[in-house]
Amino acid sequence: MVERFGALSLVMLNDTPLSPAWRLNFLANFFTGPVYRELEQRTGLSRAEFVILFSLSQRSGLVARDICLVTGLPKNSISRAVSTLLARKLIERRPDAGDKRAKLLALTAEGRALLDQAVPLFEARQSAMRAALTAEEAAQFDALLAKMIDAMPGWVGAE
């Protein structure tokens, strides 16, 4: 590991008061950076555009604000990505019958097809990352992540 990341990385990953948080960030960066670069090369989708498509594949009829809340991405990034996806006809927007100001978003068939090409990139990267874990360790890791996420209301406001 020293050869690839340097001695400083070992210190930061193991020997500082911030090592646990640094490890999470380290994994996230080495997961997302390469996969989003490959995604953009293959499909032309940016991170925010993929996030919108994936979110809409889980629940249609979201508004941009919903996507910001579930992803933590800034409103301006989501807004730009929505405009791009609309122009590419990968999503559609319609008014909300209950709130005329709200614009509900949904995948188009083209958006679904592009998402179907993109998700396997993430699945392959995720499998490679988790290959170091046994099935029991992977389940424990998932449970620990879920526990930290469930506790977010207690620490998110600490900003």
Instruction: Read off the pLDDT of residues 8-43 as tens digits, 9 standing for 90 and up.
Output: 677 777 878 888 888 898 899 889 999 999 999 999
**What are the tokens at 30?**
């080495």
Average pLDDT for 35-58:
96
Tokens 């978003």, located at residue:
105
The whole-number pLDDT of residue 8 equals: 64
State the total domains in the chain: 1
Model confidence at 104: pLDDT above 60: yes
Percent over 90 (pLDDT), the chain: 67
**What are the tokens at 32?**
């997302």
138 vs 8, higher pLDDT: 138
Q: Which CATH number goes with the domain that contains 99?
A: 1.10.10.10
**92 in any annotated domain:** yes
What's the predicted TM-score (pTM) here? 0.85
Q: First vs last Cα of the chain: how many Å apart?
A: 33
**What are the tokens at 113?**
């097809």
**111 in any annotated domain:** yes
Domain hosting residue 129, numbered range: 2-152
**157 in any annotated domain:** no
**159 in any annotated domain:** no
E-strand ranges in 73-152 read 91-95, 103-107
**100 in any annotated domain:** yes
Q: How large is the angle between the packed helices 47-58 and 75-87, nearest 10 degrees? A: 80
Which alpha helices (H) appear in 46-96, and where do they start and end? Answer: 47-58, 64-71, 75-87
Model confidence at 125: pLDDT above 90: yes
> Identity (one letter) of the amino acid at 73?
L
The whole-number pLDDT of residue 156 equals: 78
**109 in any annotated domain:** yes
